[in-house]
Amino acid sequence: MSPFRLLVQRDLRLALRQGGDAAMVVGFFVLATILFPFGVGPEPALLQRIAAGILWVTALLAALLSLERLFQADWEDGSLEALALMPLPLEAQVLAKCLAHWLVTGLPLIVAAPLLGLLLNLDAAGYPALLAGLLLGTPTLSLIGAVGAALSLGARRGGVLLSLLVLPLYIPVLIFGVGAIEASIGGFAARPHLLLLGALLAGALPLSPLAAAAALRQALE
């Protein structure tokens, strides 16, 4: 596990040294959420009814912003070819990059979401489901996004292609994440929705690195 840990630390150092991705993701999440009360009106009842959907949609789009750079920088400077020669399998390297991406982008979204929930007058009963759903859903977004980032690597207008590839696959995460919050607010059990989010994560965890690694090998040929 030492090469895996070193690769995670490397990506974290590079991300924190640049600082742009994390700030951009959190900034977009905050600003997009703040704009909704101006667009739909400041009525507390209206905001409370749509708060779950707003938080999940903005979190999903914020996570999408930094995916294009997941492999792009290593591909441009030739580091990706050197990484492919490491004894660590390419699938494990993809998993390490997804973990670093989640720590830099997904974790700040989870921290910021409850504060933005207060702004949107989210019902107090929905906060546990919001946090649990984001804890399960944001890693899935990073894993699925890695496949799209690998497939669009080196493509002209890769950001547009990445969005077209990834957004349809994000829809189940969005549906179950919002459903968990709505169920909690309505007095029902959020557990079925959270279990489905966990199932999506359990499926993406082994499959996404395999698919992304295959796409990276194709890009390196």
What's the pLDDT tens digit per position in 111-126? 999 999 998 999 999 9
Q: Is residue 35 helix, strand or coil?
A: helix
Could you give the number of structural domains in the chain? 1
CA neighbours closer than 13 Å in the CB half-sphere of residue 169: 20
140-143: Cβ within 8 A, 24+ apart: 140/173, 140/197, 140/200, 140/201, 140/204, 141/60, 141/63, 141/64, 141/106, 141/170, 141/173, 142/63, 142/67, 142/98, 142/101, 142/102, 142/105, 142/106, 143/98, 143/201, 143/204, 143/205, 143/208, 143/209
Reported confidence tier of residue 20, pLDDT bands at 50, 70, 90:
low
Helix (H) or strand (E) holding 22: helix 20-40
Residues in the chain, overall count: 221
**Residues 34-52: pLDDT tens digits?**
998 888 888 888 888 999 9
- Of 22-36, 150-164, 174-188, the one with minimum mean pLDDT is 150-164
First to last CA, the chain: 27
The verdict on pTM exceeding 0.75 is: yes
- What is the span of the domain harbouring residue 189? 2-220
Q: What pLDDT does 209 receive?
A: 92
Q: Which of 13-17, 103-107, 172-176 is predicted least confidently?
A: 13-17
